[in-house]
């Protein structure tokens, strides 16, 4: 799927990050979401590799990457910890500053990285998310039905792990079918990579810990940032799939970045796979303007 890309494994105090690197030009770090792997970027990567050096990792605990064992406060899968791991990855690769894009859970890592390490991020593009705090605060009964996985995966261990582990492929395909757009056709090779990942009990545990962090420590950190009036200082672009997220995100994001822009596509949640040409063009234009 990533012809011409180099695969590296980088150790960070015993935590392994598996990453693909390819292309040439300014560095652009691409972060995938749940329940996927770095393969989510396979349709966008060849469209951008002529203009950017692409760094495409599996998030900590997902795919081929590892994460710390669970802890009572879920610090190891907090977005602040993940952001630190990825900053050290970029240090290892020799990139002091870089463009950054993240989808879904990767978007949550990305905005936390932009808040905690602002001097390093040249531009930020977020695909189909609001902040974690804003998402919880806006969750009415309709949103809870649509995003039931948020409270489900945040339940104490081992309930989600056992339920998903009973048939991980079925759960994966349920999510993909539920969130993709009407005309979507996800690539079989990418889906196979997602299946390999979610069949690993350690990955299921990491995913659940990701969402437990998202219901606890990530909310605490977001709230502290909001109370401190912290803001995203780099240019911010929001990409939204209207078939998945009907309500605009822009008003919520302008509390964090007053000059944020939003582009809406007629697709489902998997924007980079459903509309790769449009996604690549939006990324290219946004990065080039910064």
| 1 occurs within a structural domain | no
pLDDT of residue 256: 97
Q: What tens digit of pLDDT does each residue of 31-53 get?
A: 999 999 999 999 999 999 999 99
User: Binning pLDDT at 50, 70 and 90, where does residue 209 land?
Assistant: very high
Give me the active site residues, please: 104, 269
Give the pLDDT mean for 263-267: 96
Number of domains present in the structure of the chain: 1
- CATH number of the structural domain spanning residue 139: 3.40.50.1820
pLDDT of 72 higher than 80: yes
Whether 123 and 286 have beta carbons less than 8 Å apart is answered as yes
Q: What tens digit of pLDDT does each residue of 157-204 get?
A: 999 999 999 999 999 999 999 999 998 789 999 999 999 999 999 999
| 128 occurs within a structural domain | yes
Q: What are phi and psi of 91, to 5 degrees?
A: -60, -50
pLDDT of residue 219: 99
* Rounded to 5°, angle at Cα 38 from 35 and 39: 90
pTM score: 0.98
Q: What tens digit of pLDDT does each residue of 77-118 get?
A: 999 999 999 999 999 999 999 999 999 999 999 999 999 999
Structure tokens at 84: 């630190």
- Give the residue numbers spanning the domain of 205: 6-288
pLDDT of 246 higher than 80: no
Give the pLDDT mean for 137-143: 93
Burial track 74-109 (b if 16+ CB lie within 10 A, e otherwise): bebbbbbbbbbbbbebbeebebeebbbbbbbbbbbb
pLDDT of residue 236: 99
pLDDT of residue 106: 99
pLDDT of 266 higher than 90: yes
Q: Quote the mean pLDDT of the chain.
A: 98
The rounded distance, in Å, linking the Cα atoms of 97 and 91 is: 9
| 37 occurs within a structural domain | yes
């Amino acid at each position: 799927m990533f012809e011409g890309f180099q695969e590296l494994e980088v150790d960070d105090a015993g935590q392994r990050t598996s990453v693909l690197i390819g292309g040439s030009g300014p560095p652009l770090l691409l972060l995938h979401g749940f329940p996927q792997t770095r393969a989510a970027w396979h349709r966008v990567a060849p469209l951008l590799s002529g203009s950017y050096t692409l760094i495409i990792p599996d998030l900590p605990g997902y795919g081929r990457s590892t994460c710390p064992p669970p802890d009572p406060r879920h610090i190891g899968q907090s977005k602040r910890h993940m952001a630190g791991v990825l900053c050290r990855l970029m240090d290892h690769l020799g990139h002091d500053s870089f463009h950054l894009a993240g989808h879904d859970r990767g978007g949550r890592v990305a905005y936390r990285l932009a808040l905690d390490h602002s001097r390093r991020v040249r531009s930020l593009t977020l695909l189909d998310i609001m902040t974690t705090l804003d998402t919880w605060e806006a969750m009415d009964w309709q949103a809870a039905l649509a995003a039931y996985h948020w409270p489900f995966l945040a339940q104490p261990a081992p309930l989600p792990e056992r339920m998903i582990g009973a048939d991980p492929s079925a759960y994966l395909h349920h999510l993909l079918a539920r969130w993709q757009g009407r005309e979507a056709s996800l690539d079989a090779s990418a889906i196979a990579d997602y299946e390999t990942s979610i069949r690993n009990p350690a990955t299921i545990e990491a995913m659940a810990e990701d969402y437990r962090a998202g219901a606890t420590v990530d909310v605490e950190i977001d709230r502290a940032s909001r109370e401190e009036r912290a803001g995203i200082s780099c240019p911010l672009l929001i990409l939204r799939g209207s078939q998945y997220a009907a309500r605009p995100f822009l008003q919520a994001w302008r509390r964090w970045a007053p000059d944020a822009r939003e582009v809406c596509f007629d697709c489902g949640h998997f924007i980079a796979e459903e509309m790769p040409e449009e996604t690549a063009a939006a990324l290219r234009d946004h990065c080039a303007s910064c």
